[in-house]
Chains A and B, each alone.
Chain A
Amino acid sequence: MCLSTVYIQSKNRRIKVMQDVAQMEYNQEGYLLIGLLGDQKFVKGRIQSVDFVDDHKVVLEKEGK
């Protein structure tokens, strides 16, 4: 599935934030996640990894941890 699933990683926990993410917009604090059906969520952090094969997984990590 080409739509992405976004996770936030903090220490030993990885939490799913949103799935079917179609667009991510960066601003100075983090990312606005926009889903295919119009749902939106803002999440603070920076990108740790993007996996284009496995679940189109985007992992964000909290900054300053």
Chain B
Amino acid sequence: MGMKISVCGKGGSGKSTLVSLLATAAQARDLTTLVVDSDESNSGLFRMLGFNEPPIPLMALVGGKEGIKEKMNQPSILSETNITLEQIPDGYINEKNGLKLVSIGKIHQALEGCACPMGVLSREFLKKLRLGKDEIAMVDMEAGIEHFGRGIDNNIDAVLVVVEPSFESISLAEKIKELAAVINKPLWAVLNKISSDNLIAEIKAKLKSREMETIGVIPYDASVFLAGLNGHTLAQGRATHQAGEILESLLTAKT
């Protein structure tokens, strides 16, 4: 059975970047990789993954927020007990060289109401998703911790929390660790945006004192910075190499 990994953390810490790096690393290892865009605010993940257009959001299968009442009583793959990658209809999944992307839904309008239906959809999709042994799913979570309250994390196998060098980020990581522990999910920290070895050691120590292990450090990589600035695909470089080591550690931890 494949692994479902969620990537959490403070807004702007680098969740989408880490997801993209891990997905690229998994692709290089011939794993079929499904990225689940579960962040209803972020709009550019598809570009980082090298797609020209985002997939149609899964919310559209139940009518989207505007048409939900008309369409929700019609059957779709979301009414199935199990969902395999092959069952996801064309248009709702982007595919390129073993890398796949689905999106739960996005907020488009001011005053359109809450994102609760997307939370339910995320939770149910991840619960029903069945992966083969060479398949892996990476979930780009919304920033913060509300997804724990919505039960989305109940259906994943491991949590990665991205930590940037700020007290707020470390504090939030500690809260995420506590929430993950309640539902018995293993958690590791990934450090991001930290350039000095001394600072890396200091932040690892801070996390250790809060009972969090660091599984890897994403080094500064100018190509990642430029790709992020211009909305381009991440290129192979120091950061993707390091993400590969994080992925190896995760897969080893699972087996």
Contacts and interface: CB of A to CB of B under 8 A. Distances in A.
B73 A36 contact: no
Contacts, number: 47
Main secondary structure of the interface of B (DSSP, over half): helix
Interface residues of B, number: 19
Given A36-B68, A37-B62, A37-B79, A22 B117 contact: yes
Interface size class of A (residues with CB under 8 A): 10 to 19
A22 B69 contact: yes
A3 interface: yes
A1 to B, nearest CB: 5
B119 A22 contact: no
A14 B129 CA distance: 31
Contact of B62 (A1, A2, A38, A40): A38
A35 interface: yes
B157 interface: no
Interface in B108-151: 114, 116-117, 119-121, 124, 149-150
Given A36-B72, A36-B117, 11 more contacts: A1-B116, A20-B120, A22-B117, A23-B72, A36-B121, A37-B62, A37-B72, A37-B79, A38-B73, A38-B79, A39-B79
